[in-house]
Amino acid sequence: MFAYIIKRLISGVIVVILVSMAVFALFWFGPEDPARPICNQQTGNRCTPDRLENFEEQMGYNNGFVSEYAAYAKGIFAGRQMEIGSTQIDCDAPCLGYSHRTFNLVWEELIDRVPATISVAAGGAVLYLLLGVPIGVAAARRRGTLGDKLLVSSFLVISSVPYYLFALLAWLYFTLIWQVPILGDSGYTPLTDNPAKWFGGLLLPWLCLGIFGCTQYTRYTRGAMVETLSEDYIRTAKAKGLKPSTVVYRHGLRSALVPVVTVFGIDLGVLLAGTIFTERIFEIQGIGRWGLQAVQSFDLPVVSATALFGAIIIVISNLIVDVIYSVLDPRVRLS
């Protein structure tokens, strides 16, 4: 087990390194000059080719991809000295450079935004599991009945609506049109500042993520449960004289959860890497929105940082899924 985790961690590190290289290369060789945004800003939109050349020189973009990536990678572990115009800045490890848009250190901006994203993602994920799994189990137990059919088809309708439209409509109605108290005042307040406001501000984003996400989890759980409930060992459990709830939850759900956990891990990773639409619509300063702004303004260091962050989160969540998987299924444990 331990050796397995180590092995997975090593391959995870390789994945992260490759992702960071790929993102770096994408912008380096991309259509837009990464120095242009900073040049535009510093010269008041009078960025002549001469000045651009100057900025490229200063920012190291003339040094070639390999040496600049090496400097970037070294900065992450050892920190580096950087220049903006004529000012020198100390970028301590882990140095991810400075934003070409705001000139703040990327690491500090990242640390600033992570709590918001985690708050949104964790709340949404908890909600869609808490809603999706029990509803899915209930539907599986009543499969084929009118209630089951209504539920499955109405959830299919909800999940066919694009999420950004769903969230946008929620925001439009609750905040703009009905102006519902608490629900309508969405936004992010740090938990440590004011727990009540933190909760209230995130309630609508959570509900959006939760209700939209739970439709999928209901379908996964229902499907897995229907399959599990027709297994021979479920018949054995019934033949022992166990209560239906024990049969369904202890014997059925335990097996049905395995595929659900796999999907959940991947989803949670994606959520933590940035809930772009949710953060954009509900005006939450999280990783997703930050990355979106960075892409729009060709802010290379921030884009690299969000991609790196996302890759690390997804690698870790996949590892956690595999560990949980082996806890749930003893047959995995030994092989």
Partner 1 sequence: MTIHNMPSSSTGNGDPDAFLVVEDLNVEFPTPDGPVQAVQDLSYRVGLGQTLGIVGESGSGKSVSSMAVLGLHDAQRSTITGSIKIGGQEVVGLNEPGLRKLRGNAVSMIFQDALAALHPFYRIGAQLGEAYQVHHSSASKRDARRKSIEMLDRVGIPQPDKRVDDFPHQFSGGMRQRAMIAMGLINDPSLLIADEPTTALDVTVQAQILDLLQDLQREFNSAVIIITHDLGVIAEMADDVLVMYAGRAVEYGPCKEILVAPEMPYTWGLLSSIPDVMADTDARLIPIPGNPPSLLSPPSGCSFHPRCVHVDKVPGALCATTLPELLPGGRGPHHLKRCHLANPAEIFRTEVLAEIAPKMVEEN
Taking the complex as a whole, the smallest distance from the CB of residue 230 to partner 1 amounts, in Å, to: 11
Which residue, 192 or 245, has its beta carbon nearer to partner 1? 245
Which residue, 84 or 138, has its beta carbon nearer to partner 1? 138
Which residue, 196 or 239, has its beta carbon nearer to partner 1? 239
Taking the complex as a whole, the smallest distance from the CB of residue 243 to partner 1 amounts, in Å, to: 7
Which residue, 102 or 246, has its beta carbon nearer to partner 1? 246
Q: Which residues bind partner 1 (CB under 8 A)?
A: 231-233, 235-244, 251, 254-255, 328-331
From CA 314, how far away is CA 272, in angstroms rounded? 8
Taking the complex as a whole, the smallest distance from the CB of residue 134 to partner 1 amounts, in Å, to: 20
Which residue, 193 or 232, has its beta carbon nearer to partner 1? 232
Taking the complex as a whole, the smallest distance from the CB of residue 248 to partner 1 amounts, in Å, to: 13
The pair of three-digit structure tokens given for residue 223, joined into one six-digit string: 């499907």
Taking the complex as a whole, the smallest distance from the CB of residue 236 to partner 1 amounts, in Å, to: 5
The pair of three-digit structure tokens given for residue 157, joined into one six-digit string: 């309708």
* 32 phi, psi to nearest 5 deg: -105, 140
